[in-house]
Structure formats: C-alpha cells, structure tokens
C-alpha cells in the first residue's frame, strides 16, 4: 500500500496526466492510415507466401530447417536477455523507477511493447517452421496451429527473460533455456541428415489435430509464464532496470546516428564492467620477443578470458552447411556466408587496434614500430579466420555441397587477407554524415554509411578473390586456386603492413 503523503509526489501527477491525455483525431487518422498502407504493401507478398506453404516436406531439408528455427529462437532469447528486456527511457528510468509510484504503472507501456514484439517474432518463427515442415493438407488448421505455437513460444520466451531480470536464479534458468535451444539446433542439424530423418518426416506427416493439441499446451505454459512475469514487474530491482535502460539508450543512440561501431563498445563495456581480473605474469617467450608481441598479447588474453564466445564462434562454423541444405542456396550465397563469417571471426580480436585508433597519441607514446606491431597483431585474427573458415569448408564438403578435394585449405590460404581486412575495419572512423548523397535508379544512397560499411571489407574481398572464384565455379581440382589464394592473401597483408609502417603508428 502507498501512503497518502506518497501520492502527492510529482510523479503521480505526471503519470495521471500521461494517462488522461485523450487520443486526438489526427492520432487515430495516422494509426488507421498506417495500418492501411502496411496492409496494401504487405498483403500480396504475405498471401503468396501463405499459398506457397501447401507443399510436401523435403526430408533432406527438415533437419537443417529445424536447426535454423531453433537457432533463431535461441538468438531471440539471448537478445531479449542482453537488452533487459524491461527498459525505460533514460529520464523516466532515473526518475519514475526510483519514485514511490507502483512499479507496474510505470512499466505498463513497456510490458505492452514487449508483448507486441514477442507476438511478431513468434509469428515469424511459426511461419518459418511451417514452411520447413510444409502443409500438404488442412492448410488452415496447420497455419493456425503454427501461428499459435510460434506466438506462445515468443511470448513465453519474453516472459522468461523478464523473470530472468528479476533474480539470478531465474536468469540461470533462462540461460539453460538458451543452451537447450542451441543444443536442439545442433541435434537437428546432425541427426536430421541421418538417423532422425525418418522421425522428422513422420512429424511432418502427423495429423493437424496433433499440432493443434501441442499449440494448446504451449499456450497454457505461455499464459502461466506471462502471469508470473506480470507479478515479477513489481519485484525487479531498480538498479537492474536503470542499467538495462542506460545500455539500451546507448544502443539506440548508436543505431539512430548510424554509428554501428558504438554497439561493440557497448557490448564490451557491459561485459567487463564490475569484473575482477586476476593478474598473471606474461609468458617469458612474449617478453623476450620484444615490444610488438607484448602489445599484441593483450588480444590473446581477451580471447582466453572469454572461452564461451570462442566456442560459440567455432560452433557457428556449421551455419553455412546448415543454411545451404535448408534453403538450397547457390554457390554465391555460400561464398558470401563464408566471407562474412570468416571476417567476423578475424574482427573479434581487434579491440586493441580500435583503442589505439581512437587514441593515436597514446599509441605513439608506446614507441613501437608500426610494421612490427601490425604484423604481430595480425597473427591472432589470421589464426581465428583460418580455423573458422577451414571448419566451415569441411562442413560444406561433408554435407555434399562441395566436391571432393582439399577445400579446407582455402581457409588458411585466405586468412592473411581476412586479417588485413579486420585490422582495417578496426581503424575506420565513425560514419561521416556530411558526405553527399548519390541518386541512383534504386533510390538515394548516402555515401557516408556506404563507405564506412565497405572499409575493410573491400580489402578482404580483394585478397580473397581466388577463394571466392573457386567457391562459385567449384572446379574439379582446387589446388590451383589454393596456390593463387596463398599469393594473393600474403600480398594483401604485406601491402597493408607496409602502408601502416609509413604512417608510423602501431
């Protein structure tokens, strides 16, 4: 109960004024007009997509497709956990959360927004799962069951994320749920290509009534979790809401100002803030090699202190093979996924380069030769890129997407070029929004974000042309392409190191 003196707090007047403001005719007109425009734009594509669901399931694609759905659900839960999910604008979080207002009254709009996001995400997951399993008969019943099941999974997962924000025990259960979804994705990808293919085919051919029953049970479980999450809104500690609101405000600011580089800084600060790190002596070999390897050793320590992220990165090497089997993607899609994944693996360990790029004065005070420092810092990105791409190529070959041959050798051969591209990406400046806008037949293209996005990618693409050509053409012998890739990758990395040494910066 709230005392009468507490009800005189200015926050009560603010909340009552916000609630009492009636919707004007312009608000109603804008809402109705927006819904009509969305229906006109999305009506035909949605109708065609729904009509395309009436097909028989392909047994070869059931396992990979289900793996992608499970991985997407795990990503949805992880994103909800990372963002809060209960957040408020920074000013409201600093004022209203610490006021004597009822917590549910303050967080009511946020709760409605979370429900809307969960419903949309769950509906998308349900439709994706239905497109994998197909609906050869009773399309209406199967479609309704898939939508109900997907919405229940989305809403229940969001409720579990809200409960996880309340207490560490609930957060541990949420992490187990995420790990379970990832394990289901791995099992579906591995077993779906072999002994479990018949089981998945039997599930796809099950009667529609069974899917409706499963959707009903999922709805009951989701309703129970939503009820618990609504009760938990009053018990979420204010410090957690404030921390989530501050983190989300930074992410939103980075997104609205089109500076995606800030997102990685936000993630790094959120991870390392409040952690006590043990002091360990450096290996004698690193100390004896000189200043440049010692400067690069910090990246090895950062990777070693986050083994979970490294394991997730190596596990993601199976995604190209899973996507190729699930979607029947062509050679161009496979090559693009390999390039993006390997470049991401290389860019994961360039935090020190980014810090030196943002503070060049400190970098010059270290008095380290630029050529030696760049060469030392390129070792770890090249190693991670080589490992990831070799695993991904081996997975594609095991899945039958690539012909026989030493395709895995393209990964280590392209690793130097990918490392050079990752180092160049780490040194790029924020987006320059003052650059001109180019009018093209497809619309206006702002050159500032375009140049920012291509910085570093262009170098990796240029140095990986032989490997990409081999993946697109898929020749009978891959050995000439491996030799050409070795030369191209080494030349690109050498040219980048020489250019950095001329600038006299590590």
Sequential DSSP letters for 176-208? HHHHHHHHHHHHHHHHTTTTTHHHHHHHHTS-H
Q: Tokens 């500076």 sit at which residue?
A: 259
Checking if the pLDDT of 503 tops 70, the result is: no
Could you give the 3-state DSSP secondary structure of residue 58? coil
Preceding peptide of 85 cis, ω within 30°: yes
Could you give the 3-state DSSP secondary structure of residue 57? coil
Q: Which two tokens stand for residue 425?
A: 């990406």
Which has more pLDDT, 302 or 281? 302
Could you tell me the CA-to-CA distances from 364 to 62, 214, 320, 430, 466 in Å, in that order? 56, 63, 41, 21, 37
Checking if the pLDDT of 505 tops 50, the result is: no
Q: What percent of the chain has pLDDT over 90?
A: 17
Residues 48-61, mean pLDDT to the nearest whole number: 68
Buried/exposed code over 224-256 (b: 16+ C-beta within 10 A; e: otherwise):
ebbeebeebbeebeeebbbbbbbbbbbbeebee
Rg (CA), the chain: 26
Task: Give me the residues paired with residue 440 across strands.
Answer: 443
Residues 209-220, mean pLDDT to the nearest whole number: 86
Q: What is the spatial distance between Cα 102 and Cα 26, in angstroms, rounded to a whole number? A: 31
Sequential DSSP letters for 372-418? HHHHHHTHHHHHHHHHHHHHHHHHHHHTTSS-SS-GGGHHHHHHHHH
Q: What is the spatial distance between Cα 412 and Cα 384, in angstroms, rounded to a whole number? A: 9
Could you tell me the CA-to-CA distances from 267 to 163, 368, 457 in Å, in that order? 22, 29, 22
Residues 69-78, mean pLDDT to the nearest whole number: 90
- Express each pLDDT in 321-340 by its tens digit: 888 877 666 677 888 888 99
Least confident of 160-164, 206-210, 359-363: 359-363
CB 156 within 8 A of CB 46: no
- Express each pLDDT in 470-480 by its tens digit: 888 888 888 89
Q: What is the spatial distance between Cα 205 and Cα 262, in angstroms, rounded to a whole number? A: 48
Task: Give, for 443, the enclosing helix (H) or strand (E).
Answer: strand 443-446
Q: Tokens 């010692």 sit at which residue?
A: 294
Q: Looking at 238-369, list the stretches that DSSP marks H as alpha helix, in order from N- to C-terminal side.
A: 238-256, 261-272, 284-289, 291-304, 307-315, 319-327, 331-347, 351-358, 360-365
Q: What is the spatial distance between Cα 220 and Cα 267, in angstroms, rounded to a whole number? A: 35
Which has more pLDDT, 459 or 506? 459
pLDDT of residue 504: 47
CB 438 within 8 A of CB 445: yes
CB 374 within 8 A of CB 501: yes
The rounded mean pLDDT for the chain is 79
Q: Which residues contact 494 (CB under 8 A, 6 or more apart)?
A: none
pLDDT of residue 5: 47
Q: Which residues contact 86 (CB under 8 A, 6 or more apart)?
A: 107, 110, 111, 114, 162, 165, 233, 236, 241, 244
Q: Which two tokens stand for residue 162?
A: 């809200």
15 confidence band (pLDDT: 50, 70, 90): low
Give the pTM.
0.73
- Express each pLDDT in 219-248 by its tens digit: 999 999 999 999 888 888 888 888 888 777
How many Cβ atoms sit within 10 Å of the Cβ of residue 464? 29
């Amino acid at each position: 109960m709230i005392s009468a003196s507490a009800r005189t707090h200015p926050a009560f007047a603010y909340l009552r004024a916000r609630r009492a403001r009636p919707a004007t005719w312009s608000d109603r007109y804008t809402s109705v007009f927006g819904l009509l425009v969305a229906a006109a734009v999305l009506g035909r594509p949605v109708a065609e997509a729904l009509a395309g669901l009436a097909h028989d399931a392909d047994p070869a694609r059931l396992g990979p497709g289900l793996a992608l759905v499970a991985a997407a659900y795990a990503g949805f839960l992880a994103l909800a956990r990372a963002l809060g999910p209960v957040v408020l604008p920074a000013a409201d979080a600093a004022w209203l959360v610490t006021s004597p207002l009822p917590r549910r009254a303050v967080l009511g709009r946020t709760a409605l927004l979370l429900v809307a996001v969960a419903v949309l995400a769950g509906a998308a997951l349900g439709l994706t799962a239905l497109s994998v399993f197909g609906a050869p008969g009773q399309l209406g019943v199967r479609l309704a069951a898939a939508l109900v099941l997907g919405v229940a999974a989305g809403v229940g997962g969001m409720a579990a994320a809200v409960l996880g924000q309340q207490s560490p025990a609930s957060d541990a259960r949420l992490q187990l749920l995420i790990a379970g979804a990832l394990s289901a994705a791995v099992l579906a990808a591995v077993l779906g290509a072999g002994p479990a293919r018949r089981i998945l085919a039997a599930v796809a051919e099950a009667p529609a009534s069974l899917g409706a029953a499963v959707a009903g049970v999922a709805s009951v479980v989701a309703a129970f979790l939503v009820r618990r999450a609504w009760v938990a809104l009053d018990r979420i500690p204010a410090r957690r809401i404030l921390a989530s609101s501050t983190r989300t405000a930074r992410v939103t600011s980075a997104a609205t100002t089109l500076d995606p580089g800030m997102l990685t800084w936000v993630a790094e600060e959120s991870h390392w803030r409040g952690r006590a790190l043990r002091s360990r002596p450096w290996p004698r070999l690193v100390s004896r090699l000189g200043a440049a390897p010692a400067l690069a050793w910090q990246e090895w320590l950062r990777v070693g202190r986050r083994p979970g992220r490294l394991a997730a990165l190596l596990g993601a090497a199976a995604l190209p093979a899973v996507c190729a089997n699930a979607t029947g993607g062509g050679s161009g899609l496979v090559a693009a996924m390999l390039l993006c994944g390997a470049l991401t693996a290389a860019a994961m360990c360039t935090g020190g380069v980014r810090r030196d790029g943002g503070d060049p004065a400190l970098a010059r005070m270290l008095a380290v030769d630029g050529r030696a420092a760049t060469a030392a810092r390129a070792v770890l990105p090249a190693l991670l890129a080589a490992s990831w791409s070799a695993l991904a190529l081996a997975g594609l070959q095991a899945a039958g997407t690539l012909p026989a041959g030493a395709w895995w050798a393209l990964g280590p051969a392209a690793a130097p070029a990918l490392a050079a591209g990752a180092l160049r990406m780490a040194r790029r400046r924020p987006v320059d929004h003052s650059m001109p806008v180019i009018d093209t037949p497809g619309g206006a293209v702002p050159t500032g974000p375009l140049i920012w996005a291509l910085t570093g990618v262009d170098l990796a693409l240029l140095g990986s042309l032989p490997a990409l050509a081999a993946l697109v053409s898929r020749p009978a012998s891959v050995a000439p392409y491996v030799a050409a890739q070795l030369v191209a990758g080494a030349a690109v990395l050498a040219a980048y190191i020489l250019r950095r040494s001329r600038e006299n910066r590590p």
